Amino acid sequence: MPSAYRALFAAPGSKGFSAAGFLGRMPLSMMGIGVVTMISQLTGRYGLAGALSATIALAAALAGPQVSRLVDQYGQRRVLRPATLISLAAGAGLLFAAHYGWPDWVLFVCCAGIGCVPSVGAMVRARWAALYRGTPQLHTAYSFESVVDEVCFIFGPIVSIGLSTAWFPEAGPLLAGCFLAVGVFWLTAQRDTEPEPHPREPHGGGSALRSRGLQVLVATFVATGAIFGAVDVVTVAFAEEEGHKAAASLVLAVYATGSCVAGMCFGLLRFSGAPERRWLLGLCAMAVSMIPLLLVGNLPFLAVALFVAGLSIAPTMITTMSLIEEHVPRAQLTEGMTWVSTGLAVGVALGSATGGWVIDAAGARAGYGVPAAAGAVAAAVGFLGYRRLKRPAPRRGGSVEQHTHGERQERHMA
């Protein structure tokens, strides 16, 4: 591991909360696909399986920011443990309902309850921000967390699908629940690195989404999520058309590997310019990288094209986290990060649905037009909202980080 990354873990407690965060994040990539695999095996109803997976995603998109808002107010331990228990109880109900063939409405209610799962990635990033706020190490920490996200998305689906098909149908979601329980309760047991809560002042209420800059970031991440969702679905269909459906997971792992490599390298660099320029460049790179997918003719070419496309993902994500710190008060940092994740989740659901519709209508190759169009939308929204990002919100009640305000002044004087 490069010295810049090793230096991150010199801070007391950093290894512990990072390891706990890794375990707590695995369910993010395991639960949805695990439910699809479980339900399709038990009932053979792929339509029901997809609807239940979408219910989990949408419920998490609605509940996630609210859970994170409470975390900012009352602290991680007081909020994450009850929220996790609700999610685990709903997950247990889903396993029983699926196994014993209970009515469909019970399955949907349980999936909605699973949506109370906290955004563990945002919790870990908030701890890094508390440790390294105002230092170059924070950029490296965000880069490391982006790589961890990609590792979860490489191995999570493989483990979940493999267990459910080789052992018993409920094995994938069951292991995801175990990871969530261990990760969250281990993370919240580490009180020394827990960010200080910020109870709302009477005049300081309201959602973090009131920030005009955050609105731009969330809007672009809806389009970005549509890229990811469509690429996943269309790649599976393309591999099936080529007669190698099993190879889809390997090709998608190559896509995530490209993001991993870029994230590791990006974290070692130091930048002096405005982050919003790098963010806009990243969005444009993602949009352009979707064009070669329209020309794919075989799986090897697709793998190469997706690896190149993956190179722009992690740097854009990392820069987005830096921009959130500039546009959201410190007292709402966790909520702000979760709103971006929510936008991503909504986009994934939209991209998956649209990609599936295009595949049914015109075939897998035509389906790659969906991520290409989503990339163009992301870039267009980025250009239209660029001015908002160049004018960070003023400090509200002294709650925005002092170092960020100073960095803005330096940038304006440069």
CB 66, CB 121: distance < 8 Å: no
Is residue 396 scored above 60 in pLDDT?
A: no
Burial class (CB in 10 A: 0-12, 13-18, 19+), 294: middle
- pTM of the entire predicted model: 0.74
Q: What pLDDT does 395 receive?
A: 44
CB 125, CB 147: distance < 8 Å: no
Is residue 203 scored above 60 in pLDDT?
A: no
In three-state secondary structure terms, 54 is helix
CB 369, CB 358: distance < 8 Å: yes
Is residue 368 scored above 80 in pLDDT?
A: yes
pLDDT band of 270, cuts 50, 70, 90: confident
Which range is least confidently modeled, 79-88, 174-183, 259-268?
A: 259-268
Please tell me what DSSP assigns to residue 197: P
What are 243-246's contacts with CB under 8 Å, separation 24+? 244/299
User: Residues 6 or more apart from 362 whose CB is under 8 A from it?
Assistant: none
373-390 pLDDT per residue, tens: 999 999 999 999 888 877
pLDDT band of 392, cuts 50, 70, 90: low
Q: What pLDDT does 371 receive?
A: 93
Average pLDDT in the chain: 83
306-316 pLDDT per residue, tens: 999 999 988 89
CB 38, CB 52: distance < 8 Å: no
Share of the chain above pLDDT 70, in %: 91
Task: Enumerate domains of the chain plus CATH numbers.
Answer: 14-135+156-194 (1.20.1250), 208-414 (1.20.1250.20)
How would you label 342-366 residue by residue, b for 16+ Cβ within 10 Å and e otherwise? bbbbbbbbbbbbbbbebbeeeebbe
24-43 pLDDT per residue, tens: 998 887 887 788 778 878 88
Which among 179, 354, 340, 156 has a CA at the least distance from the CA of 256? 156
Query: Mean of the pLDDT values across residues 129-156?
Result: 83
The tokens for 171 are: 């094995």
229-262 pLDDT per residue, tens: 788 778 878 887 888 766 777 888 888 888 888 8
Q: What pLDDT does 239 receive?
A: 84
Is residue 412 scored above 70 in pLDDT?
A: no
Which among 124, 254, 117 has a CA at the least distance from the CA of 173? 117
Q: What pLDDT does 391 receive?
A: 57
43-58 pLDDT per residue, tens: 877 668 777 877 888 8
Q: How far, rounded to the nearest angstrom, does the alpha carbon of residue 390 sit from its chain's CA centroid? A: 24
Share of the chain above pLDDT 90, in %: 31
H runs (alpha helix) in 44-170: 46-74, 76-99, 104-114, 120-132, 137-166
76-110 pLDDT per residue, tens: 999 999 999 999 999 999 999 999 989 999 999 99
316-326 pLDDT per residue, tens: 988 887 788 77
The tokens for 351 are: 């991209």
Q: Phi/psi at 192 (nearest 5 deg)?
A: -65, -30
Q: How far, rounded to the nearest angstrom, does the alpha carbon of residue 358 sit from its chain's CA centroid? A: 25
The tokens for 198 are: 């910020």
Which range is least confidently modeled, 154-158, 217-221, 357-361?
A: 154-158
* Most confident by average pLDDT, 62-66, 95-99, 150-154, 322-326: 95-99
